[in-house]
C-alpha cells in the first residue's frame, strides 16, 4: 500500500482527534525516520521528547526484547524483579526518596494531584474537600477530565464538562500572583519549568526560585511537571536545576522509556508519597517488569552517553545558528538545551505551512500554538546534522 492508501484507512476507521502531517513512517533509527516510500527525515519533534535517547536505541530495544522473553506483566498483586531496581536507580539518580510508577504522563499528573490533596488533608490539616491546587495559564498536563479542568485552552475543554473543582489558575511567570493566590487551604502549586505545548515558554529568570520560596514559606508543595522538559531535554537532567531548587515532587514520563513503552512516575519524599496506603491508588500496568526494564536501560543510556551534556551544547549551537537566519517571519528564538521554540510573527500566517514545507525538505517538526515551530530532536543529534537542518530551515523561513 502506498502512503495515500494507508492514510485513507486511518481516516476511515480512526477517531480524528489529531491532525498529523501526512508522512507515514515505517522505521526509524537515532535522529532519522523513514517513510513508506523510503524517504528519510530528520525528526525534530522526537515524539514530544519521548525519544530523547534516539529512535530504536539498540540498548533499549535489547532490554525490551530480553525482558519480553522473561515476563511482561505481573500486576502489582505480585512483585517482580525489575521494579525495585528502577526505584533504586531513579532514587540514586535524582535524590528523591520515594517513587510511584504509572504509564502515561497524564496518569502520573493525576497521581501527583491525588498525593498533594491527600498530603493536604492528612499532613497539612486542610479541612475535608477544601484543598486547592494552583496551576498556571497556558499549561499542558494531559487530557483527563481533572487535568483539562485547569487548562486555559478552550478547545481542550469544549464539550467535556462538568469539570473537577479545586483548581486555581494564575499567570505563568508571575511569582506575585502565586503569593496572592495561596490560602490556608492550598495544598500544591503545579508548574512546568518550561511550558512545552504552550509554545516552549521559558519563564523569566528567577521565577521558579521565587515561586519555590513562596511555597516553602506557606507549606505548599511545589510540584514540577518535567514530563517534557525533564530527562535532559533542557540541557540539564531537570529544567528546575537552572534555578537551583528542589521541588517537593517531580513528575516524569515520555523519555523515561526512550519512546519504547509508556512509563511515567512521580518522584517525591516519604512525607508526600507515604500518604498512599495499599488500595488507595493503582494501575494494572503501572510498574510492570517490561516497562521497568526498559526505563532502567533508558536512564542508563541517558547518563552513560552523556546525552544531557550533549543537549546543552547542541542546543546552544542550534539556537546560535538559527539566530543567524535573517527571516522577516521570525519574532523570537528561545529555549534551553535542545528544547527550542521559533516564534513567528502573526503576519507569517501560522507555523503549520512552514512545518509542511520543512517536511518537503526532510525535516519533521510540529507547530505548537499556531505560531511556534518547536525544534526538539533526539538528544543524540550531532553538529553536522544540525548544520544540515539549519540550511534547510533557512530556505523555508525565507519563503514568502
User: Per CB under 6 A, does 232 bind ligand PLP?
Assistant: no
User: Per CB under 6 A, does 298 bind ligand PLP?
Assistant: no
User: Is cis: bond before 162, omega within 30 of 0?
Assistant: yes
Only segment of 60-68, 208-216, 224-232, 298-306 that touches ligand PLP (CB under 6 A): 224-232
User: Per CB under 6 A, does 110 bind ligand PLP?
Assistant: no
CA 113 to chain centre: 17
CB of 59 to ligand PLP, least distance (A): 23
Cα–Cα dist 25/40, whole Å: 9
User: Per CB under 6 A, does 142 bind ligand PLP?
Assistant: yes
Dihedral through CA 235, CA 199, CA 362, CA 254, nearest 10? Answer: 60
**With respect to ligand PLP, which residue has the nearer C-beta, 96 or 261?**
261
The residues that are catalytic are 140, 225, 254
**Strands of the 366-368 sheet, one edge to the other:** 330-336, 339-344, 372-375, 366-368
Only segment of 11-19, 101-109, 335-343, 351-359 that touches ligand PLP (CB under 6 A): 101-109
**Distance linking the first and last C-alpha atoms of the chain:** 35
Closest-by-Cβ residue to ligand PLP is 105
Residue in 87, 119, 140, 238 binding ligand PLP, rule: CB under 6 A = 140
Cell 535524582 appears where?
94
User: x/- binding map, residues 328-367, to ligand PLP, per CB under 6 A?
Assistant: ----------------------------------------
For residue 226 the three cell numbers come to 518535567
User: Per CB under 6 A, does 228 bind ligand PLP?
Assistant: yes
Cα–Cα dist 327/320, whole Å: 14
Which residues lie closer than 8 Å to 11 by C-beta, 6 or more apart? none
Cell 490533596 appears where?
117
CB of 279 to ligand PLP, least distance (A): 24
**Residues β-bridged to residue 373:** 342, 367
Q: Which helix (H) or strand (E) holds 25?
A: strand 25-29
**With respect to ligand PLP, which residue has the nearer C-beta, 106 or 237?**
106
CB of 60 to ligand PLP, least distance (A): 18
Cα separation values, 131 from 124, 186, 216, Å:
10, 6, 17
Choose among 214, 164, 206: nearest CA to 188.
214
User: Per CB under 6 A, does 135 bind ligand PLP?
Assistant: no
User: Per CB under 6 A, does 227 bind ligand PLP?
Assistant: yes
Which residues in the 160-219 window bind ligand PLP by CB under 6 A? 192, 196-197
Residues forming contacts to ligand PLP in the complex (CB under 6 A) are 48, 104-106, 109, 140-142, 192, 196-197, 225, 227-228, 253
Amino acid at each position: 500500500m502506498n502512503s495515500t492508501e494507508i492514510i485513507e484507512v486511518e481516516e476511515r476507521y480512526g477517531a480524528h482527534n489529531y491532525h498529523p502531517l501526512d508522512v507515514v513512517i515505517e522505521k526509524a533509527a537515532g535522529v532519522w525516520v523513514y517513510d513508506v516510500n523510503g524517504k528519510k527525515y530528520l525528526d525534530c519533534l522526537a515524539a514530544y521528547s519521548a525519544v530523547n535517547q534516539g529512535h530504536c536505541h539498540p540498548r533499549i530495544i535489547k532490554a525490551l526484547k530480553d525482558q519480553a522473553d522473561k515476563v511482561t506483566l505481573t500486576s502489582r498483586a505480585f512483585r517482580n524483579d525489575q521494579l525495585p531496581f528502577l526505584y533504586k536507580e531513579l532514587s540514586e539518580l535524582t535524590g528523591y526518596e520515594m517513587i510511584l510508577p504509572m504509564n502515561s504522563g497524564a496518569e502520573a499528573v493525576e497521581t501527583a494531584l491525588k498525593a498533594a490533596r491527600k498530603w493536604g488533608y492528612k499532613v497539612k490539616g486542610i479541612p475535608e474537600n477544601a484543598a486547592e491546587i494552583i496551576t498556571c495559564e497556558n499549561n499542558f498536563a494531559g487530557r483527563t477530565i481533572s487535568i483539562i479542568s485547569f487548562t486555559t485552552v478552550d478547545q481542550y475543554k469544549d464539550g467535556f464538562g462538568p469539570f473537577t473543582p479545586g483548581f486555581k489558575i494564575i499567570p505563568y511567570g508571575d511569582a506575585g500572583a502565586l503569593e496572592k493566590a495561596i490560602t490556608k487551604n492550598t495544598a500544591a502549586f503545579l508548574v512546568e519549568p518550561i511550558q512545552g505545548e504552550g509554545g516552549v515558554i521559558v519563564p523569566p529568570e528567577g521565577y521558579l526560585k521565587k515561586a519555590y520560596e513562596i511555597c516553602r514559606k506557606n507549606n505548599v508543595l511545589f510540584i514540577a511537571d518535567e514530563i517534557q522538559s525533564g530527562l535532559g531535554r533542557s540541557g540539564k537532567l531537570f529544567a528546575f536545576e537552572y534555578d537551583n531548587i528542589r521541588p517537593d515532587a517531580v513528575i516524569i514520563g515520555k523519555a523515561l522509556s526512550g519512546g519504547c513503552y509508556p512509563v511515567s512516575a512521580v518522584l517525591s519524599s516519604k512525607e508526600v508519597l507515604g500518604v498512599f496506603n495499599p488500595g488507595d491508588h493503582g494501575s494494572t500496568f503501572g510498574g510492570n517488569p517490561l516497562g521497568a526494564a526498559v526505563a532502567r536501560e533508558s536512564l542508563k543510556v541517558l547518563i552513560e552517553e552523556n546525552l544531557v551534556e550533549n543537549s546543552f551544547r547542541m542546543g546552544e549551537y542550534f539556537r546560535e545558528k538559527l539566530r543567524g537566519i535573517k527571516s522577516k517571519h521570525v519574532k523570537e528564538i528561545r529555549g534551553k538545551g535542545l528544547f527550542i521554540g521559533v516564534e513567528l510573527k502573526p503576519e507569517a500566517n501560522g507555523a503549520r505551512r512552514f512545518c509542511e514545507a520543512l517536511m518537503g525538505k526532510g525535516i519533521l517538526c510540529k507547530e505548537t500554538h499556531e505560531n511556534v515551530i518547536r525544534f526538539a530532536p533526539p538528544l543524540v543529534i550531532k553538529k553536522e546534522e544540525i548544520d544540515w537542518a539549519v540550511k534547510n530551515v533557512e530556505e523555508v523561513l525565507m519563503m514568502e
